[in-house]
Amino acid sequence: MANGRTWILRAAAAAVALAAGGCARAEPHVLTFSGSLVGREGDVIRRQLDRFREANPSIDIALRATPDAANLRHQLYVQWLNARASDPDVLQLDVVWTPEFAAAGWIAGLDRFEPPVDQFFAAAVDADRWNGSLYALPWFVDVGMLYWRTDLAPRAPRDLDELAQLARRAQEEEGVPFGFVWQGARYEGLVTVFLEYLGALGGAILDDRGRVVVDSTAAVRALTYMRDAIDIDGIVPPAVLTWQEEQTRFAFQNGQAAFMRNWPYAYALLQDPSQSKVAGRFAVAAMPAGPDGAATAALGGSALAVNAYSEQPEVAYRLIDYLLQPEQMIERARIAGEFPTRPALYETRALADALTIPLADALKVIERAVPRPITPVYSQLSEILQIALHRALTRQQEPRAALTEAAAGMRALLAKVKLGPLASTP
């Protein structure tokens, strides 16, 4: 009996081994890509992965979707990488995450692949280096833009006060329910909106030497301006306090808002008459300046990195290299409206033809781009700030008190991780 059972077990084990061996020989590698599928990003990445698969029949590709909200995507990646999961092999990183993931040892150094770094925007490549080594490559550039209705306003507002006046006029005289909509939920998007108001009023999160200055008078004024736009001016609906990018796009494309702050991805979707009521009736500009500040566009975007625990880093890098080729960037610009990270493409007809957004308008906004702090503790700094911003906007705390507390928390964090002043740029 015992012998019989042993034999059966051995036979079963042999069958499994054979099947596994057979599989390994017959089945292609599965390389997993993980990233954002907001707007038309899903369409473009699926096409490109299909083409890569056709050109590389020995590699099979799986696409792992992630949540739309940048923070939730971050959380998921942290869980996977903390558990040393070997997939996803290729990760789409928000521009602000590379130093954190590199310092944690979660993404592989890319210098050994000798990528052609001089072909990409230098500032974007800088954000992908940590301790002198390269850990990611810039995939697309995002900039915060002001979308305005050309049938409701005579021109793009020259300053923040004019924006408020035009927004109110559209509400009062044209019956548009919302004057202005932006991303006000407690997540990373809120920090980017704040950064634009902050720049408009002459403030910053960190100063040139990396010291926390988010409790300055200018910063308090910026946050007060945002809060008052909701409940004193009534231009911004309180609903934005739960809205991310897509909810603001839906309001604007349904004709419910005169102005919207959003990223470039929204442009092509808003021009599509099958889903948008405002096709042909809007334009973009940089968020205007307020007193003492400058027109500011938050710099966003994504980079591509290889999971440090990937079992196939070479193949993973091959996919990254493919996705960064000029044709892929042009296709991404055409389908998803996202801007290439290769400066040479901005000189080409191909890019101007691909983008629905007029290239000259896009460049005017890109000129105003301001990055968020580059530091491995960015996510923690942002978390502290998001809580303070949201508490002030929901009137649970006065802007000054909220920012004073946030600044103290941010300083303590930087001191604790010994990154104090000077270690982080802007």
Choose among 79, 73, 104, 133: nearest CA to 376.
104
CB of 385 to ligand GLC, least distance (A): 13
Binding mask 239-278 for ligand GLC (x = CB under 6 A): ------------------------x---------------
Q: What is the distance between the alpha carbons of residues 87 and 319, in angstroms, rounded to a whole number?
A: 14
**What are the backbone angles phi and psi of residue 325, rounded to the nearest 5°?**
-65, 150
347: DSSP letter: G
Q: Which is nearer to ligand GLC, 124 or 414 (CB)?
A: 124
CB of 60 to ligand GLC, least distance (A): 28
Q: Is the distance from CB of 337 to CB of 357 less than 8 angstroms?
A: yes
Residue of the chain from 301, 313, 337, 399 that contacts ligand GLC (CB under 6 A)? 301
Q: What is the distance between the alpha carbons of residues 96 and 254, in angstroms, rounded to a whole number?
A: 32
CB of 157 to ligand GLC, least distance (A): 23
Binding mask 203-222 for ligand GLC (x = CB under 6 A): --------------------
Q: Which is nearer to ligand GLC, 153 or 245 (CB)?
A: 245
Choose among 119, 117, 121: nearest CA to 133.
117
Residue of the chain from 31, 49, 61, 70 that contacts ligand GLC (CB under 6 A)? 70
Q: Does a cis peptide bond (omega within 30 degrees of 0) precede residue 115?
A: no
CB of 330 to ligand GLC, least distance (A): 19
Chain positions 170 to 199 lying near ligand GLC, rule: CB under 6 A, are: 188-189, 192
**What are the residues whose beta carbons fall under 8 Å from the beta carbon of 18, sequence distance 6 or more?**
none
CB of 22 to ligand GLC, least distance (A): 43
Q: Is the distance from CB of 329 to CB of 137 less than 8 angstroms?
A: no
Q: Which is nearer to ligand GLC, 73 or 342 (CB)?
A: 73
Rounded to 5, what percent of the chain is helix, strand, coil?
A: 50, 15, 35
Chain positions 318 to 357 lying near ligand GLC, rule: CB under 6 A, are: none
Q: Which is nearer to ligand GLC, 221 or 261 (CB)?
A: 261
> Which class for 159: exposed (0-12), middle (13-18), buried (19 or more C-beta within 10 A)?
middle
Position of minimal CB gap to ligand GLC? 300
Q: Which is nearer to ligand GLC, 34 or 192 (CB)?
A: 192
Rg of the chain taking only CA atoms, in angstroms? 24
Q: What is the distance between the alpha carbons of residues 166 and 258, in angstroms, rounded to a whole number?
A: 8
Q: What is the distance between the alpha carbons of residues 176 and 168, in angstroms, rounded to a whole number?
A: 9
**Do you know the residue count of the chain?**
426
Size of the site for ligand GLC (CB under 6 A): 10
Q: Which is nearer to ligand GLC, 221 or 372 (CB)?
A: 372
Q: Which is nearer to ligand GLC, 88 or 189 (CB)?
A: 189
Q: Is the distance from CB of 89 to CB of 315 less than 8 angstroms?
A: yes
CB of 372 to ligand GLC, least distance (A): 8
Q: What is the distance between the alpha carbons of residues 170 and 180, in angstroms, rounded to a whole number?
A: 10
Binding mask 365-404 for ligand GLC (x = CB under 6 A): ----------------------------------------
Q: Which is nearer to ligand GLC, 126 or 233 (CB)?
A: 126
Residue of the chain from 41, 87, 94, 100 that contacts ligand GLC (CB under 6 A)? 94
Q: What is the distance between the alpha carbons of residues 318 and 276, in angstroms, rounded to a whole number?
A: 38
Chain positions 118 to 157 lying near ligand GLC, rule: CB under 6 A, are: 142
CB of 257 to ligand GLC, least distance (A): 18
**What are the residues whose beta carbons fall under 8 Å from the beta carbon of 359, sequence distance 6 or more?**
346, 351, 352
Give the residues lining the site for ligand GLC (CB under 6 A).
70, 94-95, 142, 188-189, 192, 263, 300-301
